[in-house]
Amino acid sequence: MPGDRESWRRRRVAMETGGERSGPGGRHGRYRWQLLKRLLALFGLGLRLLGLFERGRRNAIDIRLRRLELRFPGLPPAFDGFRLLQLTDLHVDALPEAMEAARRIAAEQEADLCVLTGDYRFRVSGPHAQILPGLRALRDSLRTAEGVVAVLGNHDSAAMVEDFEALGIRVLVNETMSLARAGETIHLTGTDDVHYYFTAAACEALAAAPPGFKIALIHSAELADVAAEQGFALYLAGHTHAGQVCLPGGRPILTHMSRFRRYAAGLWRHGAMQGYTSSGVGVSALPVRFNCPGEVVLITLRRDSA
């Protein structure tokens, strides 16, 4: 509702300008982030000295398509075979080659709905006009009958919402949209970022979703318990880049999560709810990936009649 969104906007802008960083577990300490930035700078220098930086950059632009088929006993029959195309953590202005690779892959897929689960620019503050041409190119390339919906991440600002919607990308800000087929319905609830900009409004939006088959679109998996308690069947997230730089076997070194770190990558389950945390498309901090390829995800929903 317009009034609710305006109230959200005022609160979000106040958090952005005041430098407030809050998650479900409380406020984030600034000292820890400053220390992490120094360590990342040293890590980048080490990669260059060892001659590994360019390899990491090549890894980062090697975007893959991941296909998933997920089964749900409560999926309405009319939505059996419904396809969701998930792209997350685009960081459009960080590594243009990765964004273009993802756009080409996405353009080749036939899906019913594209969902963008946050983090569209490289920096956590500042202008965002530089990312709009890339998002427009992506939007124009897609073949999704139900269009494109998005939620905000911790690198995003309230000011993006109006510009995204002018591109034809619907932004869900602590609200639910419903899709109908043959008299049956599914619901998608999108919240504001819960890693830096968590407020009670995110939990309230999940609680207010109508009964039925429900999908949560939330930038980080840090609200998995709340969504599961509210009867959501599927939770789609990003945020972590699945580690971006991982140990052999894909084990993340850093997750940037304050809760549910075990949900930092891939498929997971919380109670009866299934979840997927995508490794995303782009990069943050350093333009490299190791043991953790970026991805575009095509999810097919199937009704489990067993």
Taking CA atoms, 112 is separated from 96, 190, 218, in Å, by: 26, 17, 19
> Per-residue pLDDT for 195 more than 90?
yes
Residue-wise pLDDT tens digits, 280-292? 999 998 999 999 9
> Per-residue pLDDT for 147 more than 70?
yes
Residue 20 pLDDT level (bands cut at 50, 70, 90): confident
**For 111-135, b where at least 16 C-beta lie within 10 A, e where not — what string?**
bbbbbbbbbbbbebeeebeebbebb
Q: What is the pLDDT of residue 30?
A: 60
9 CB neighbour count, 10 Å cutoff: 15
> Per-residue pLDDT for 123 more than 80?
yes
Domain of 177 in residue numbering reads as: 2-303
Residue-wise pLDDT tens digits, 80-113? 999 999 999 999 999 999 999 999 999 999 999 9
> Domain tally for the chain?
1
> Per-residue pLDDT for 213 more than 60?
yes
> Per-residue pLDDT for 3 more than 60?
no
- Mean pLDDT to the nearest integer, 251-278: 94
What is this structure's pTM?
0.94
CATH number, domain with residue 279: 3.60.21.10
Separation CA 220–CA 181 (nearest Å): 29
Separation CA 130–CA 152 (nearest Å): 17
- Mean pLDDT to the nearest integer, 3-18: 90
Q: Which tokens is 275 given?
A: 């979840």
3-state helix vs strand vs coil in the chain, percent to 5: 35, 25, 40
Residue 1 pLDDT level (bands cut at 50, 70, 90): very low
Q: What is the pLDDT of residue 31?
A: 55
Beta strands in the chain (DSSP E): 22-23, 26-27, 64-72, 83-87, 110-111, 113-117, 143-144, 148-151, 169-171, 175-181, 184-190, 213-217, 234-237, 246-247, 251-252, 266-270, 273-277, 295-303
